[in-house]
Amino acid sequence: MDLQILEHRVRVLSLARRGLWLYTHPLLKLLLLPRRSRCKFFSLTETPEDYTIMLDEEGFKELPPSEFMQVVDSTWLVLNVLSNGRSSTSSQAIGVTKIAKSVIAPLAEHNVSVLMLSTYQTDFILVREKDLPVVIHTLAGEFDIYKEVKGESIPVNCDDVSNGFLKPKHAASPTVHPVQSPQNRFCILTVAPDTLPAIATMLIDVLFYSHSPPKEAAPGSQDLDSIRFFAFSLIEGYISIVMDAETQKKFPSDLLLTSSSGELWRMVRIGGQPLGFDECGIVAQIAEPLANADISAYYISTFNFDHALVPEEGIDSIIELLQKRQESSR
């Protein structure tokens, strides 16, 4: 398999709900008018806490600084696993599960913090730019590594990044965070770019005007009644949307494309308190046990919490599996 380091240099930020009014114009431009922007990597995820935005430097220029926006100091690079020159696909487990053992676990062991963004089309792994030498040295034995330069894939020579390289210390045992499962049922969808204008009005309504207070879990409960979660990404011309089944009913059914099985997904939400960006092994905490059990999973990191989407029919056994891991780590 090949590992590609894409050209995008990505910033990660949180936008407070109360400041949304200040950013409506640039967000509409990034969402619906990509030809008006030079942004090639844009992701917007709404959670009960805030909006998490991941976007390249061209897109970042569209957003004015303000007290409502928190920006992670680091610049992040985007990795993508390819099989035979294409994004890896399989008739077996899909999503982050297929790269858990080859990418996620080794990086966690070498103290590299990652963010994940699963889309309808593929899975993106985000690493800090300063961690790239460690990433290359860690994964070079498993992958042929290429770097995208002006649209061309150039082989990466490990010797080129070894100058001044210090072997990283292995990470200490990571904190195993609590998990919760809201009752929402989620869909993972795509839209043909030329039909985006046909759903523009509904997208605006869902993202900016259809708000309700978040529902909290009862004390001691592992379940949330439901949560507000909507993710939209437009990356290199490909659109991916994650929404709950109730929200999907608002959209024209003939324009939203999903897998032929029409599978629904349940969420596993990771973290009792905001997770931060320095801790390693958070993605591995979920991805490794699911990979061992050959369970498909999509994974979306946000500014405060992480979210895995797993098949609806297996949610009870998956929560039990993850809780056992949590108990065994104490």
Q: What is the pLDDT of residue 4?
A: 95
**Helix 282-292 crosses helix 315-328 at what angle (to 10 degrees)?**
120
Task: Give the pTM.
Answer: 0.89
DSSP run (H or E) holding 289: helix 282-292
CB 140 within 8 A of CB 158: yes
> Cβ of 282: how many Cβ atoms within 10 Å?
26
CATH homologous superfamily, domain 2-155: VC0802-like (3.30.2130.10)
- The amino acid at residue 22 is L
Q: What is the pLDDT of residue 89?
A: 40
Q: What is the pLDDT of residue 322?
A: 87
> How far apart are the C-alpha atoms of 186 and 312, rounded to whole Å?
9
Q: What is the pLDDT of residue 329?
A: 63
What CATH number labels 179-210+227-329?
3.30.2130.10
Q: What is the pLDDT of residue 91?
A: 40
> How far apart are the C-alpha atoms of 164 and 172, rounded to whole Å?
24
Q: Can you give the residue ranges of every domain in the chain? A: 2-155, 179-210+227-329
**For strand 230-235 and strand 41-46, is the pairing parallel, antiparallel, or unpaired?**
antiparallel
Q: What is the pLDDT of residue 210?
A: 79
What residue ranges of the chain have pLDDT lower than 70? 84-94, 159-174, 211-224, 260-261, 326-330
CA-based radius of gyration for the chain:
19
Q: What is the pLDDT of residue 120?
A: 93
Instruction: Give the tens place of pLDDT for each residue, 118-138.
Output: 999 999 999 999 999 999 999
The answer to whether the 2-155 and 179-210+227-329 domains have the same CATH topology is: yes
Q: What is the pLDDT of residue 330?
A: 58
Q: What is the pLDDT of residue 159?
A: 66
